[in-house]
Each structure stands twice: as structure tokens, then as C-alpha cells.
Amino acid sequence: MDSDIASQDGLEKPILEIDNLTVIRSGKLVLKNVNLTVNKGEFVGIVGPNGSGKSTLLLAILGVLKAQEGNIKIYNSKPMSRELYGKIGWVSQAAANLPKDIRITIKELVHLGTVNAKNMFSHTWLPMKDNKRNKKVKEAIEMVGLQDFENFDIGRISGGQRQRAVIARALATEAEFILLDEPLVGMDRESRNSLLKLLDRFCHNNGKTIIMVSHDLSAIRQTTHRMIFLEETIRFDGLTANFPDLDSLAKLRGITHTHEQEMGSEYEN
């Protein structure tokens, strides 16, 4: 266990710690007083209405967006710290929306996940280095079940397979902490279910920690271990089994029942 992520009592510190986070974008308050802790091996689903700050939260965790207030620690380091190199995998909403006429194979795409500032200009044809990177690529492709398609061009495979390919690219970095922003968009039912099972296995069998943002509430409820409802701030954070029903969720959001108001006014008259 790394000393920088171990607490004094010998237990691992949380992978992610967010304390009183506030983020303003284009003059608009998007996140306010967000407090969140994520431990190793958790599969956390973040849901909320459009514009609720879900993507903003992921970008703040990555360090792409700066906080106006609060602190973020990943493996006890600030976002974008050198210590985090290779530990975080990121799959954005547009990651799988590659042009269909692009001439790049799945294997080549995943291989890009092994390219970094240290090896970008190195002699990659040296057998030792090349074999090591090829092994990472092979393992990542096998993890997402695309070994039979690795030499197919991206334009020849389905949307679900492209999504798996970009996840494999993130895995090729040997990332321990994976962030996914709406990975289910544009996927058919079979591909969606297959991907969700794959992500669940990553947590249980490979010790990965995953945060996934999605508007697909039913998919999140059937897959993740823990759910967060985000709307400017965190309004629910708990086990998936305890996620509130629609009426309770409306109350958390401060939404009142229109018909009850109308009925109440009639009785008052």
C-alpha cells in the first residue's frame, strides 16, 4: 500500500475526497457546498436533471475546471498533480463519437492509451518497451471483450463496441480510478447491459473504482453500488437500494404536487 494513501491506523484513505466544493461557470453558480468521499472498489452512479452539474463535477475532479471554494483530493493529491499520472481514466460524452470514416483499428486506438509525455518521443521500436506496451493493449482489449475485433476499423463496429474500445483505451493506462460521463448514450439494450456488467466486474474482480454519470436512472439503479442525486448540491448520497422513490425525490428537490395544491385551494373555498 502506498504510504501517501494510508492513514495512521493502517486503513486506506478514500480515493476521492471533496470538501465544500463550489464551482461557477460563465458567471453562473453550478455547484455549491458539495461534499463527497469515494472509497476504493466503489461503483458510484451520479444522476440528476440536465444542467444539474454532473459533468461539471467530473471536470472539477479532473482539474479541468477550477473551484471557487473548497478542496479536492485524489489519492491525497490535488487534481492534475504529477502523483496522479496514470491513475485516472477519463471517458467523456463524445469519446465514442468518432467519425465513421476514420481509418484506425481498435488495437491502434487502445494503443494510444499507452502514449504519454514520458514515452511520446522515445524509441518505441525497442523490443522491451514495445512488448510492455503491447501487453497492456492486449490485456485492455481482452478486459472489454473485443479481442476478436481488435483489427477492425472503428467505423466498422457498433456504437456499443466503440464505447468498449474507448474504455479499453482508458484501461490501457492502467488507471485505477475511472470516470465516465454518459457512457450509455446511443447504445442499444444489449450493448448497454453488457457494458454495465463489465463495469461491475471491473470493481469486483479488478479493484477498480468507478464514478459514472448518466441520465438513465433505471440503469444506474440496477448496476451501481451507490447513488448520488446531484442538483447544484448533493441531495441524496447512499446505497442504491435506498434511493428515494419519485415522490420522495420530488420533495428532496423542493417540487410540490400541482394537483394537491389545486385540491387544497378548492377545499379552502
DSSP 133-186: HHHHHHHHHHHTT-TTSTTSBGGGS-HHHHHHHHHHHHHTTT-SEEEEESTTTT
E strand or H helix at 218: helix 217-223
Domains 1-82+177-269 and 88-175 share a fold: yes
For domain 1-82+177-269, give the CATH superfamily. P-loop containing nucleotide triphosphate hydrolases (3.40.50.300)
| Helix H or strand E encompassing 111 | helix 106-111
Report pLDDT for 144.
85
Structure confidence at residue 119 (pLDDT)? 43
In single-letter form, the type of residue at position 220 comes to: I
In this prediction, residue 3 carries a pLDDT of 39
- pLDDT score, position 145: 86
pLDDT the model gives residue 85: 83
Q: What is the pLDDT of residue 229?
A: 95
Phi/psi of residue 198, each to 5°?
A: -60, -45
pLDDT of residue 35: 98
Q: Which residues of the chain have pLDDT under 50?
A: 1-10, 117-128, 263, 265-269
pLDDT for the residue 175: 85
Domains of the chain, residue spans: 1-82+177-269, 88-175
Class of domain 88-175: alpha beta
Q: Is-contact 209 40, C-beta < 8 A? A: yes
What was the pLDDT predicted at 11? 60
Q: What does the alpha-carbon distance between residue 234 and residue 83 come to, in Å, rounded to a whole number?
A: 28
Place of cell 501487453: 135
Residue 131: partners with Cβ closer than 8 Å, 6 or more residues away: none
* CA–CA dist 9, 15 (Å, integer): 16
| Cell triple for 73 | 483530493
Per-residue confidence (pLDDT) for residue 37, from 0 to 100: 97
pTM: 0.79
pLDDT score, position 103: 84
Per the DSSP assignment, residues forming a β-bridge with 38 are 16
